[in-house]
């Protein structure tokens, strides 16, 4: 990226102390520019977690190096020869939750650079707030049930233990609760819930420590009703690790089309409660950006995320924005503070696609005359979806049977242990039932004998 085409590349300001927001109309390349800035921070040792690729699921395109030769040639002609070649092949971890019924027999993988990680989630790591992202606000009975489950199964139990527990007399009545029907049962049936020792658990701490790899959450293989839950669970643990100084302070979580869950206007009544819980969750994380977990988001209109960015942005990327209302929304306070001029605001209405105003913390808006394209291939309509493009470029896959078999066997093993325990308890009860009449008879005979014996007087 460049500040002035006659001088040098613009470099990202480090260290990052806040979040990044990128705004502009559809087709203004805001997602591409956010990606370019994020890749600039990656070059400075920042960990990137791509959590939401938008409605087109653009995240997995990190797997491909840029093939935009024309764009890179144009940029190189303007700024001179690059120190490093523009396009780059990044190390990528594709993160896929264990929804066994939704997993295909094969998943994209191209070792050693592109790894596919099918992961489970320990029961003990799930908080009440995580569950709310699926079913909304929890009733007191739902809270009691989950807290009881966590306590009963402890750290060694998995979904099979929960399934067994829910069939007992004490808990079978709770099977009609929404938490069981909409959260617990689907996750047990899909083998996502594991114990603390499961080899398939996603180790978020190790994932964050591996700065070289870009971690990408694959939404295609997550049932829609659980997408907030998976994103929220990863975000919550990432924030806690940063605040507890268990990881470095340089992690960026990427979200394209943030209006899909951050929109405050024209919300659909469907899943509104869950969406609001997730919005509150993300807003809270944005306020704690100094902990070391930063959010990068793009959205079409600043009105869609009103209330989220004020005071929380370290980087504000302003792209072409024809709407006067949108320009006023994002620029009015900046104008009052003397950080952007009226002429610059007018220019935003017809800004070329390769330009962007960048506003950094405490500084005036700076016009970047030529924003470098991402070093990876970004989504374009002619490319199709990720799966079709992968087949064209790599066409290499991993078999999912191994991971599914690991967790399936663990579930079966726990079922076997639980059944054996029940058998042992049943045998013990029967033995006691048989022994009890004999004991009573002996006691009665002993009592009768005592009565019949003469009493000796002293």
The confidence score (pLDDT) of residue 46 equals 97
The confidence score (pLDDT) of residue 272 equals 83
The confidence score (pLDDT) of residue 4 equals 39
- Dmax over CA atoms of the chain, in Å, equals 124
- Report the predicted TM-score, pTM, of the whole model to 2 decimal places: 0.89
The confidence score (pLDDT) of residue 5 equals 36
The confidence score (pLDDT) of residue 13 equals 86
Extract long-range pairs of 35-39: CB within 8 Å, 24+ residues apart: 35/254, 35/374, 35/376, 35/378, 36/1, 36/371, 36/372, 36/373, 36/374, 36/375, 37/1, 37/12, 37/296, 37/315, 37/317, 38/252, 38/254, 38/296, 39/88, 39/374, 39/375, 39/376
316 Cα distance to chain centroid? 23
The 10s digit of each residue's pLDDT in 183-195 is 999 999 999 999 9
The confidence score (pLDDT) of residue 430 equals 66
The confidence score (pLDDT) of residue 262 equals 72
Where does the chain hold its CATH 3.40.50.300 domain(s)?
19-120+202-399
Domain over 19-120+202-399 is classified CATH 3.40.50.1000 = no
- pLDDT lower than 70: segments of the chain: 1-10, 74-85, 263-270, 306-313, 426, 428-458
The confidence score (pLDDT) of residue 69 equals 76
């Amino acid at each position: 990226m460049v500040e002035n085409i006659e001088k040098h590349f613009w470099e990202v300001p480090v260290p990052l102390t806040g979040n990044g927001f990128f705004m502009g109309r559809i087709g203004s390349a805001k997602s591409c520019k956010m990606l370019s800035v994020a890749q600039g921070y990656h070059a400075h040792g920042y960990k990137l977690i791509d959590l939401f690729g938008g409605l087109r699921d653009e995240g997995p395109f990190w797997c491909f190096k840029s093939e935009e030769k024309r764009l890179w040639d144009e940029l190189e002609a303007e700024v001179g020869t690059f120190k490093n070649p523009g396009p780059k092949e990044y190390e990528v971890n594709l993160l896929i939750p264990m929804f066994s019924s939704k997993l295909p027999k094969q998943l994209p993988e191209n070792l050693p650079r592109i790894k596919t990680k099918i992961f489970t989630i320990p029961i003990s790591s799930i908080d009440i707030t995580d569950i709310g992202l699926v079913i909304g606000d929890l009733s007191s009975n739902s809270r009691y049930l989950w807290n009881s489950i966590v306590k009963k199964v402890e750290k060694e139990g998995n979904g099979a233990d929960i399934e067994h527990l829910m069939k007992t007399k004490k808990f079978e009545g709770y099977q009609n609760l929404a938490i069981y029907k909409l959260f617990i049962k689907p996750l047990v049936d899909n083998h996502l819930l594991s114990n603390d020792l499961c080899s398939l658990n996603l180790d978020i701490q190790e994932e964050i420590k591996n700065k070289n790899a870009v971690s990408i959450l694959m939404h295609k293989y997550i049932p829609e009703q659980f997408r907030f839950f998976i994103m929220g669970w990863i975000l919550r643990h990432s924030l806690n690790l940063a605040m507890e100084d268990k990881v470095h302070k340089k992690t960026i979580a990427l979200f394209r089309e943030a209006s899909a869950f951050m929109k405050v206007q024209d919300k659909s009544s469907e899943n509104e409660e869950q969406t609001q819980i997730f919005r509150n969750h993300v807003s809270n994380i944005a306020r704690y950006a100094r902990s070391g977990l930063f959010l990068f988001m793009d959205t079409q209109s600043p009105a869609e995320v009103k209330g989220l960015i004020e005071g929380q942005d370290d980087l504000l990327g302003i792209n072409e924005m024809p709407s006067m209302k949108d320009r006023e929304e994002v620029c009015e306070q900046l104008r009052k503070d003397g950080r952007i001029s009226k002429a610059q605001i007018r220019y935003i209405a017809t800004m070329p696609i390769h330009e962007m105003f960048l506003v950094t913390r405490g500084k005036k808006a700076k016009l970047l005359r030529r924003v470098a394209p991402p070093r990876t291939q970004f989504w374009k309509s002619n490319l199709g979806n990720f799966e079709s493009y992968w087949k064209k470029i790599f066409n290499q896959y991993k078999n999912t049977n191994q991971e599914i078999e690991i967790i399936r066997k663990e579930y079966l093993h726990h079922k076997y242990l639980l059944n054996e325990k029940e058998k042992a308890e049943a045998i013990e009860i029967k033995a006691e039932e048989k022994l009890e009449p004999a004991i009573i008879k002996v006691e009665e005979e002993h009592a009768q004998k005592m009565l019949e014996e003469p009493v000796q007087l002293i």
